Amino acid sequence: MLDLNRDKSKKTELSVFQLLNMSVGFFGIQFGWALQMSNTSAIYEYLGASPEQIPILWLAAPLSGLIAQPIIGYMSDRTWNWLGRRRPYFLAGAILSSIALILMPNSSSLWMAAGLLWLLDTSINISMEPFRAFVADIVPEKQRTVGFAMQSLFIGLGAVVAALMPWLLDRLFDFSAQGHQTIPFPVKLSFYVGAAAFLGTVLWTVLSTPEIPPKNLKAFERRIEKTGGFSNGFKAILGLFKNMPETMKQLAGVQFFSWLGMFCMFLYFPPAVAHNIFGAARESSALYAEGIEWAGVCIAVYNAVCFLVSWPIARIANRLGCQLTHAFCLFVGGASLISLLFIDNHIWLILPMAGFGIAWASILSMPYAMLAKALPVNKMGSYMGIFNAFIVMPQICVALGLGWIMHHFLHNDSLLAVVLGGGAMIISAFWALGVNLDVAQQEDQQTFGKQLTAEV
């Protein structure tokens, strides 16, 4: 943890090995998250869900994020114990997520699967949210873009392995003796591997990367005691919402449309590949299972590209600026999703997935690199949690409204839902060009500096 009054310029520059250690936990987090994103819609369909039911069944995921992330961010700003400030939340979330990953593929009913999704997504959020603030806490400002890019690198690597896992297991081992099961055994085994990867990599970060305690622990404890209590915490979070830095307000629109597009893709890409590209008429057919597996390969491709371009994107952003870099990447991603309309051979899906991977790498790093420059040190976790609300709000909109749109306008065509997401990403690309990191940042830092002095 950092001293509340410590100058950012005094943070020690970190080696590549130190950056790797503090980010490796994101491999496991993303492994679990990618398994959830790649397989949940298919699990729902295996258990009898119709296409228009899928968005509402996913509602648990964004709602849990909307509730958990600001609370966890606020609590982690106010925590210090033998594990540190952020690490207690990494570890607690990892343990709960691992349990949920083991239970999820063993769901016996649709509503059991929906309930376990709630548990899984909440647990992932408990681990994931403090990781963003963890980088901002420890990494010097001049290394932050690289620090967040390192997270993107591990996110991409974890997602590649997770997305490929059912496809690889199905080809490496003979599961024919398992007989007929509602949820294929390779999917179940993948979730078990994910549980081990999640807990193991988070433990690596917890054990290898210490946090810096407050220089004046008694002053820190007095501030926490002075502002303690649930009602004070709730008021504090509302106050932070009201007084968001100008840069954060501008980035909120970018995040909203980016994640509107991302969630459309997450929900409907695997069924779209199975139904529209492979031509599967029924979820019980072998063709449908083949399509879902190939969708996993495609998800692995865009995450592999994310892994490969995360570092170059950070270097490009240092030259061209984060805004222009992010806008270009979002445009490429949106155009790639729209191009799926013109593909009828599953092999050609590799190309738009590569383009989408460029956008994914930028989404995972550029907004946070821009935001970290405008936030006060002692409220970093709280604001990172609130910022993630602009990820889950569009997901809630999709969960509540896309089913109706699917039924009345898109004729339950999963591919059209994915293309709609591409259009949202194009909007976010143009919005990103308007983000101002100069005057707004200076004004925000002056304002928060006065607030921090008054508090301490």
Query: pLDDT tens for residues 263-296?
Result: 899 889 988 999 999 988 777 777 887 888 899 8
The long-range contacts involving 9-18, CB below 8 angstroms and separated by at least 24 positions, are 9/140, 9/141, 11/138, 11/139, 11/140, 11/141, 12/140, 13/140, 13/142, 13/143, 14/138, 14/139, 14/140, 14/143, 14/147, 18/209
Would you state the pLDDT for residue 178? 54
* Structural domain contains residue 237: no
* Structural domain contains residue 185: yes
* Structural domain contains residue 98: yes
Query: pLDDT tens for residues 187-205?
Result: 889 999 999 999 999 999 9
The stretch 412-419 carries a mean pLDDT of 93
Domain assignment of residue 387, given as a range? 12-214+244-455
* Structural domain contains residue 197: yes
Query: pLDDT tens for residues 22-60?
Result: 889 989 998 998 888 878 888 888 888 887 788 888 887
* Structural domain contains residue 199: yes
The stretch 175-182 carries a mean pLDDT of 56
Q: Is the whole model's pTM more than 0.75, yes or no?
A: no
Q: Is 314 helix (H, G, I), strand (E, B) or coil?
A: helix
* Structural domain contains residue 224: no
- Extract the tokens encoding 376: 């006060």
State the CATH number of the domain containing residue 23: 1.20.1250.20
- Those residues with Cβ within 8 angstroms of residue 442's Cβ, 6 or more apart along the chain or in another chain: none
* Structural domain contains residue 319: yes
**Overall domain count for the chain:** 1
Q: Where are the alpha helices (DSSP H) in 104-143?
A: 110-138
* Structural domain contains residue 239: no
